[in-house]
Structure 1
């Protein structure tokens, strides 16, 4: 029997410092998030970060927390419920970090008699710290607890026409009645070294002005290329002038070089160039979370206006929009009747 496991990032159980600390410990100790030797990661996380960051992060979570709970969890549950109402197979939900675990999601499917699972990482783009860690963790849980289950992994859908269409139409619905100077596609940031580590050729990704535009097998695993490709395709769909939109990367940490340009620096730069009416979209996420709701929608607007900006429009993620639900449901239903191998899945 077939079934589907949707997987997103996760969330603390509450916005209290104790629960945030527990969540951050699991998240930051992931070797694909902080990719340094375990002894150093342990020192950094348990010796330094967890002694200072939980209180600050808890305040941020409190700013965006809903009465029903974590926005990311609530949105993901609504998305799963809408899909289940339309899907031909059981659909469960799991999170990479936190109490709503991947193991629990697989167990839910197992209890319903499912022995063939389509794993859907809810990340449009490939990155070590998002898509890859979800896939690796799911395989570990399957091997440890559900050895008779077969897994099929949905590949990143960053350039799939259906995804580009629903993302573009969402943007169109927000910009059609407003005057704007620029649209910023702000993606989650990652260290530059992650790009090189993910490069199967070990030579293509130079993070320069040409490698992302030069065809290569590396692009199947290159977060930077895939982000640029999403932006380019949306720009073409919406017929945007090339000088009216651009990319940036948010949420950098530490002193190592991360993907550029940095979103906060763009917020400072745009008003000085006369771009005072800004629209911001965050396509690295399909569901709004702390990073989109607090860092971009709240702090981003404050930074932009402090730099001289006037109008700031943050566009929500696809969340549980009906068009996005229909797309994911169709992908799932096509898989459920065709048993396509990974490389042939419609998405």
Structure 2
């Protein structure tokens, strides 16, 4: 029997330092998130970051926590239930970090006699710290606990025309009551070194103005290229000029060089350079979470207005919208019936 495992990032059990600390430990100790040798990662995470970060992160989670729980988890659960209802095959939800594990999701499918699984990392782009770590963990759990299962992975869907159309429509709907003069695409950041690590040619990626627009096999695993490519497709769909949009990268950690420009710097620059009414979208996420609701919707507005901006609109993620549910179900049915996946 066929079934589907949807996987997102995960969340602490509660917005308290006690529960945030083990969640951050699991997340940051992942070798694909902080990709340095184990000894150095251990010092950074357990010797430095976890001494102060859990309290600060817990305070941020408290600002956005819903009565039902973590917004990311609640939205993902709603999405899963809606997909399950329409797809009419077993659909389970797992998280890369936290108690709602990938293993538990696979176990849920096994109990429904599923042996053929479509793994859906809920990330539009390929990055070693998001998409790749989900796939690697799922395959490790499969080999250890569910060797009888076959897993097929949904490709990164950043350039899928139907997804681009859906994202463009979401932006249009989000701006109906907001007269903006600039649109900021804020993507989650990653260290620059991870771009070079995932370049299969070991020479194409240079983080300059040409490499992301020069055709190469490196683009299949290049997060930076995929962010720029998605933005260009949405820009064309919406008929926007280059002057109307900015691309930036948020949520950097430590002092390493991360992808630029940085979102918080762009809030300040745009405000100081005369942008008065700014709209912001976060296309690296399919569900609203701490990074969108607190860092962008709350802190971003404060940063932009402190720099001279007047109007600010955060456009929510696709979340559990009917159109996003229907598109996911279409992809599942194509795999289920035709063994084809979106390109």
- Shorter-chain TM-score bucket reads over 0.9
TM-superposed deviation, 1:37:
0.4
Q: Please say if residues 281 and 314 of structure 1, whose CA atoms lie closer than 8 Å, have aligned partners that are also in contact.
A: yes
Instruction: Write out aligned runs for 1:177-192 (5 A).
Output: 177-192=177-192
TM-superposed deviation, 1:176:
3.1
> How many angstroms apart in 2 are the aligned matches of 1:300 and 1:339?
42
> How many angstroms apart in 2 are the aligned matches of 1:26 and 1:206?
31
Q: Please say if residues 89 and 336 of structure 1, whose CA atoms lie closer than 8 Å, have aligned partners that are also in contact.
A: no
TM-superposed deviation, 1:272:
1.9
> How many angstroms apart in 1 are the aligned matches of 2:80 and 2:292?
20
Which residue does 1:72 correspond to in 2? 72
3-state DSSP of counterpart to 2:94: strand
Which residue does 2:134 correspond to in 1? 134
1:154 paired with 2:154, answer: yes
TM-superposed deviation, 1:69:
0.3
TM-superposed deviation, 1:274:
1.2
1:346 paired with 2:342, answer: yes
Instruction: Write out aligned runs for 1:191-340 (5 A).
Output: 191-340=191-340
TM-superposed deviation, 1:252:
1.0
Q: Please say if residues 88 and 333 of structure 1, whose CA atoms lie closer than 8 Å, have aligned partners that are also in contact.
A: no
Q: Please say if residues 7 and 121 of structure 1, whose CA atoms lie closer than 8 Å, have aligned partners that are also in contact.
A: yes
> How many angstroms apart in 1 are the aligned matches of 2:44 and 2:144?
29
TM-superposed deviation, 1:179:
1.4
> How many angstroms apart in 2 are the aligned matches of 1:22 and 1:30?
13
> How many angstroms apart in 2 are the aligned matches of 1:128 and 1:194?
7
Q: Please say if residues 117 and 149 of structure 1, whose CA atoms lie closer than 8 Å, have aligned partners that are also in contact.
A: yes
TM-superposed deviation, 1:97:
0.1
> How many angstroms apart in 2 are the aligned matches of 1:19 and 1:255?
26
Q: What TM-score does the superposition give when structure 1 sets the normalisation length?
A: 0.98
Of residues 11-20 and 173-182 in structure 1, the stretch that sits farther from structure 2 once superposed is 173-182
Which residue does 1:42 correspond to in 2? 42
Which residue does 2:145 correspond to in 1? 145
TM-superposed deviation, 1:301:
0.4
> How many angstroms apart in 1 are the aligned matches of 2:342 and 2:294?
34
Q: Please say if residues 155 and 342 of structure 2, whose CA atoms lie closer than 8 Å, have aligned partners that are also in contact.
A: no
Which residue does 2:163 correspond to in 1? 163
TM-superposed deviation, 1:273:
1.6
> How many angstroms apart in 2 are the aligned matches of 1:72 and 1:256?
27
Superimposed CA distance per residue, residues 223-265 of structure 1 (whole angstroms, 9 cap, x where no aligned partner): 0000001110001011112210120000111221110111011
> How many angstroms apart in 2 are the aligned matches of 1:86 and 1:17?
38
Gaps of at least 5 residues in structure 1 are: none
> How many angstroms apart in 2 are the aligned matches of 1:230 and 1:61?
29
Q: What TM-score does the superposition give when structure 2 sets the normalisation length?
A: 0.99
Superimposed CA distance per residue, residues 53-76 of structure 1 (whole angstroms, 9 cap, x where no aligned partner): 100000000000000000000000
TM-superposed deviation, 1:88:
3.2
TM-superposed deviation, 1:100:
0.2
> How many angstroms apart in 2 are the aligned matches of 1:183 and 1:192?
24
Which residue does 1:111 correspond to in 2? 111
> How many angstroms apart in 2 are the aligned matches of 1:307 and 1:273?
9
Gaps of at least 5 residues in structure 2 are: none
Of residues 266-275 and 323-332 in structure 1, the stretch that sits farther from structure 2 once superposed is 266-275
| RMSD (Å), alpha carbons | 0.8
Which residue does 2:85 correspond to in 1? 85
